[in-house]
Structure 1
C-alpha cells in the first residue's frame, strides 16, 4: 500500500469552495496537495510543474471538460494516475474520461472517507469506480468489441480460468483483498494470479490490466 504521506495530489475543479474543501480533507488524511487548477490549461501547466502522483479531476471546466484536462495532464505527466471526481454520472462523461486515460471515476456524493480510500487505491495503481459505473464502462467496451478479430490479427494470450476470473474482478475495481474474500483465496494467491496475468499480457500495472479487460469485454 502506498503511504499517504508520500503521495502527491493535484485537485482540478473550477469551484473554489469545493476545491479547497477537498484539498483540506486530503491534507488532513496525510496526502500532500501540491497544486490546484480550475481549467484545462491550468491543469496541464501545473501538472508539468509539480509532477503529482494522483490528479483528482472534475468533468465540467470553463475551457473544456475533464477528458480534455486528463489528456493534457497525461501528456505532461504520463505516470500520473487520474481519478475523476464529478457531480456527473452521465454515460458519455464516464466513457470519455476513461478513453482519455482516467483510471477511475467517483461521483461527488461519495463521503470523505470513500474519497480518501479511492485516492489511496488510485495511488497504488488500482482502478476505482463508483458502484454501477464500472459495469457501464465494461458494457460499452463489450459492445465495441463484438466484432470478431481478423483472421490474421494478434492472438490473445491464454489465461487460466482462475486468472480470467481474477481479471474480471480487477476490472470491476476490486482490490486484491476484496478479490481474495470474494473467491475465498489468500491475498498472496490473488497477487500471484495478477502478476502471472501481467506477465502473460506483457502489461506493467493494474491500470493497464483493467483497460485490457475492458477492451476485451470481460465482466
Structure 2
C-alpha cells in the first residue's frame, strides 16, 4: 500500500511491453506508478490529472519527441521532475531534453538497479546523467553560450569555491558527496549553494544546474 512518502511516477513510452516492464520494476522497488502514457497528448493530460513526482520520458513518441512531451508535462504539472529514459544517446536529443526542462538523461542500456537509483535521485531534485553524457552536454553548452566580444550581458560574480561547488552540482553530486570531495562540512556546501542561489536569483538545484550548463562550467 502506498504511503504519504511514496514517490509517484508516470512512465511515458510508446512501446507497451517496455512501458509495462519498467512500471513493474518501479513498483517492485516501492514506487507508485500513477499513470502511463504512449504519446505527448496523453502524457500532458495524465500528468495534469495525477501530478507525479517523477516522469520517466522516452525521446521518440508518435506525436512528437521527448522534448515536446517534457515541456507539455511540466506545463501541466510544474512540480514534476522529468528523467529521460531513451535508447538514443545523441547529443542533440540530450540537449533538447535538458533545454525543455528535463532533470537528467538515462539511456535504456542502464540496469534496473541504475534506473531505480536514478528515479530516487530525480525525485530529490538531483540531476542524473548516464556516464559520459554530462560531459557532452556541458561541452556543447559551453560552445553554444560563448558570448560575442561586444556583449553587454552581466554575469554575477561567484567566488572560486562557489564556482567549484556549482560545477559539482551540475554533475549531479549531492551536498554530502560534494562535502567529501572538497573535504569540507555538509553545512559549508549548503551555505555555498544558498549563496549561489541568491547571487543568480535561482530557486532550486535544477535551475542551478541549468545555469551551470549554459555557462559551460565543467
Normalising by structure 1, what TM-score?
A: 0.93
Q: What corresponds to 1:135 in structure 2? A: 135
Residue by residue over 1:154-190, the C-alpha shift from the partner in whole angstroms, topping out at 9 and shown as x without a partner, is x222211111001011111222222222212222222
Q: What corresponds to 2:200 in structure 1? A: 201
Unaligned runs of 5+ in 1: none
Q: What corresponds to 1:53 in structure 2? A: 53
How many residues are aligned here?
216
Unaligned runs of 5+ in 2: none
Displacement after TM superposition at 1:79 (Å) = 1.9
Contact kept? 1:4, 1:30, Cα under 8 Å:
no
Q: What corresponds to 1:215 in structure 2? A: 214
Displacement after TM superposition at 1:4 (Å) = 9.1
Instruction: Report the 3-state secondary structure (helix = DSSP H, G, I; strand = E; otherwise coil) of the residue aligned with 2:172.
Output: coil
Rounded Cα–Cα distance in structure 1 between residues aligned with 2:29 and 2:149: 47
Rounded Cα–Cα distance in structure 2 between residues aligned with 1:5 and 1:164: 34
Deviant stretches of 4+, over 6 Å: none
**2:159 aligned with 1:160, yes or no?**
yes
Instruction: Report the 3-state secondary structure (helix = DSSP H, G, I; strand = E; otherwise coil) of the residue aligned with 2:48.
Output: helix
Q: What corresponds to 2:184 in structure 1? A: 185
Cα distance 1:159–1:26, how it changes in 2: closer, same or farther (>3 A)?
A: same
Q: What corresponds to 2:19 in structure 1? A: 19
Rounded Cα–Cα distance in structure 1 between residues aligned with 2:93 and 2:174: 24
Displacement after TM superposition at 1:6 (Å) = 2.9
Contact kept? 1:4, 1:29, Cα under 8 Å:
no
- 1:83-122 equivalences in 2 (<5 Å): 83-122=83-122
Displacement after TM superposition at 1:35 (Å) = 0.2
Contact kept? 1:4, 1:31, Cα under 8 Å:
no
Contact kept? 1:26, 1:32, Cα under 8 Å:
yes
Displacement after TM superposition at 1:149 (Å) = 6.8
Rounded Cα–Cα distance in structure 2 between residues aligned with 1:170 and 1:91: 21
